[in-house]
Structure formats: C-alpha cells, structure tokens
Structure 1
Amino acid sequence: MSFSTLTIPVIAIDGPTASGKGTIAHRVAQALGWSVLDSGALYRLTALALLQQDADAADENAVADIAQALDVRFDGDQVWLNGNDVAAEIRLEDVGNLASRIAAYPAVRQALLERQRAFRTAPGLVADGRDMGTVVFPDAPLKVFLVADVAARAERRCKQLKVKGFSANLADLLKDMRSRDERDRTRANAPLVAAADAITVDSSTLTIDETVQQVLDLWSGLGFPKA
C-alpha cells in the first residue's frame, strides 16, 4: 500500500458468520458514500470455483492458484464469476463451509490479500470479514468486532435462506455454525479474533438500523462526520 492509499480511511467490521456484518457494512458504506468490501465473498468465490473445477480442496497450492486467478467482478448486488452472476450460489451453506475450510490456508489468504487491499479507494472503505482489523487493514481508525448469540445468528441465516427460496434446517445450521466458529477461532493463520483496539458491538437484540447507528456514532465519536 502506498502512503497516499494509507490516508484513505477504513472502517473494519469483523465478526463470526451471520453476525450481520455484511448487511451492516453495506448500510454504513451507503450512509457515508464509501466503497464496501465483502471479504468473505472472495473466499466463497474461491470455494465455488474450486467446486466448479472439481479441484482437490486438500491441495493448498492448487486452491491458492484458483484464488489468484479468480475472474470476479462486483456490481451492486450482483457478483460475477467467469461472466456469470453467482450472488445466490456463493451464499449456499456447502459453499460457505468449504470457504471456511480453505480460508485456513496461508497461501490462499496471501493470494487474496492484495486483492482485498485494492478496494481501499477514496473517499473511504467499509470492510467486513474476519481479519479486516487484524491483518488486512491494521491501521483502520475504527475497528468494530460485531458479535451475536449463536442461536440468534442461526435463526437469522435460516430466515435469509428461506426468503431466497432455499430449504434450511435450523438445527443443522446451528450445528454447522458452531463448527465454523470453532474452526475460524482456532486456525493458525489469521484466526477470528478482535483486534486489540477493536470495539465490540453485540447485535443479538439490536435491529439493523440500531446497529448501523451504533457504528456511525462510533465513527463520528472519533471526530469524523457521519456523511
């Protein structure tokens, strides 16, 4: 990153799966007129490409090569992979679970690091993921660690999937989510952990609007305007 790039502000929002960080990041970015980075989508895209190519998920170097060569484009709610809109496909649970597995590979994380940092463009960036504040943007002036009770998160994900027309079983989602949380927290490379200077926000009982407002208040509390 160049010095000029480092002067562009970043709000980093990290947290476990289905904590609402993606929705919150988009709303905050919209309020500020900033760009947004859904870093998890890059890992999901890598996982989907891996499945499409029927590659060996246990071969770290092969997965890293796929991550490095991703032909992706983000356009609003559309996510394009090799010329196809796969926004719905990358949200499937099997893709998410595979993304969590391959995200533990250091070579894959390295392959996607500079691609993520390239999203840092003026006037600012809201980045959500699991290591935005600890690894990708450690200099972000505001780091939020967004959490929610695992049962609340499973219910949210279940509703999201059903709204999109996918079948979903709450008990299975809860089991998968607990396994994914454990895997994300205990991986050796860039584990899911709050940055030392992050502010924890618990969204278990908050609405989306209330959570967005908390983040905007934290931002303005640092002396920056909300918009």
Structure 2
Amino acid sequence: MFLDLERRTDLSNIDNNIVIAIDGPAGAGKSTVAKQVSRILNINYIDTGAMYRAITFKCIKNGLDLEDEKSVVDLCKNTDLKFENNSIFIDGQCVDDDIRTLQVSSKVSYVARIPGVRFYLVELQREMGKGDNVVLDGRDVGTQIFPNTKYKYYLNAAVETRAKRRYDELILKGVKASFEAIVEDVRNRDKIDSTRVVSPLIKASDAIEIDSTNMTIEEVVDFIVNDVRGK
C-alpha cells in the first residue's frame, strides 16, 4: 500500500469497522494477547513494531545511510507495505524472518525516531484500520493512531512480573539471562517510552486498564473478546 505523505487519513467512518487498540509497556503481553484476539474474532492483526522493522530491513538491503532522514522517508514513500494472514509483506515479499535478525534489531531505533517515518506508518496503519477489522498493539494506538475507536485497552503488569515473563522466554530459547538485569532494562524502557517527545506511552483517558499481574494470557484474551462482543 502506497500513501501520499501530505494527506491525512479521514477517520470519520472508522466506526464502520472494529479497530481494537491494545497499548501498554514492554513485557505486558500485548503481542501475544493481540494475536489470540485476532484469531478468535477472525480479524487481522497489525504488528506495528514489525512495520518499523520492515522499513529498516529495506533500508539496510538498499544500503541507505540511516542518518539521512530524507532518503529514508523517500524510501517509505516508495514502499508497498501490507499484512496478509498476519504476515508482513514488503514490496510483495514476506519478510517475517528477515526483520527479526540482530542486524535489523540493532538499527530499527534509528529509523523509528524519524518523524517522517512515524507519520508514514501511522497513516498506513490508519488506512489498514479504515479498510478492515483489525487489532493493533503498541504504545500509542489508542492515543495517536486510532484515538476515536471505542475498543481501547491498556495492558499493564508489575515490573517484576513483566521482567519474569521476558526472563522465562529467554530461558526457554536457551539464552542465558540475568533476571536482575532484565528488571532494570524493563524499568529503563518504561522511562524512555513514557518520556519521549514523539508519541509517548500514556494511557488513553477512555481506555480500559487491565492489570495482568495475576492474570493468565487466556483470562486477558477472554476479557477483551467478551468486552468487544458486548459493545
């Protein structure tokens, strides 16, 4: 999907579609919950973080200087980016695996901080939500991307709980990890996400906050699915 960066998406008819916004801090379980919600409700899942990774992957592939903001934004203007069956495609190529490499992970922050890139991807996410029923997770879905949707959830959990989930994931993958270091990393990410100038992490005033500290993923998913069906 290509977009004119000078044009903003008209969201006046957004109520015609189901747009579920799941925001929250790192490690709250947003992606896992969003994927299960999309499966149960049979709607598309848009991984907003994967979109930034896809643009980063294309920049690296094309040998772009990531400090050259104009070139990166120009690349965005000429990129066909879309989701099909919960897989991400860039210029017709599925890049699910390509965007998860260490090379992309180490560079994506340079791309995500560029205002023109954020504007492009926010508009693209809005276009996707305008044309189909979707669930999105991120930091600013309910505050910036789809502020008018009535399906807003803020998923949170205690720092130690979020760190433990991340620790367990790494151990399961055979990666050595320090729980104390992960706790510190989660705290640092919370501070960075909530204090950044562009699209900071904040709870939308009309979002339902879900504290998942003592909840299973299935309980969170059931809550959201039942709430959506009841509205």
Q: Same fold (TM over 0.5)?
A: yes
TM category, shorter:
0.7 to 0.9
CA contact (8 A) 2:88 2:95 kept: yes
- Kindly indicate whether the alpha-carbon contact (under 8 Å) linking 1:104 and 1:188 is maintained by their aligned counterparts in 2: no
Counterpart check, 1:37 vs 2:46: yes
Residue 63 of structure 1 is matched in structure 2 by 72
Q: Give 1:215's aligned residue.
A: 224
Q: Determine the structure 2 residue equivalent to 1:156.
A: 165
By how many angstroms is 1:174 displaced?
4.6
How far has the Cα of 1:50 moved from its partner? Answer: 3.1
Deviating 4+ runs (over 6 angstroms): none
Residue number in structure 1 paired with 2:119: 110
Give the deviation of 1:30 after TM superposition. Answer: 2.0
- Alpha-carbon shift at residue 139 of structure 1 (Å): 0.7
Deviations 1:59-94 (A, max 9, x none): 333332333333434333543345554323434566
Residue-pair matches, total: 221
Distance in structure 2 (CA, Å) of the matches to 1:154 and 1:87? 25
Alignment gaps of 5+ in structure 1: none
Residues 104 and 187 of structure 1 are in contact (CA less than 8 Å); yes or no, is this contact kept in structure 2? no
In the TM superposition, 1:46-61 aligns within 5 A as: 46-61=55-70
> Does residue 20 in structure 1 map to residue 29 in structure 2?
yes
Identity of aligned residues (%): 35
How much is the aligned-residue C-alpha RMSD, in angstroms?
2.9
Gaps (5+ residues) in structure 2? 1-9
TM-score by length of structure 1 reads 0.80
Shift of 1:133: 0.5
| Stretch of structure 1 that moved more, 136-145 or 181-190 | 181-190
Residue deviations 1:168-225, cap 9 Å, x none? 53455555444333222222111111111111112233211011012123324xx43x
Counterpart check, 1:169 vs 2:159: no
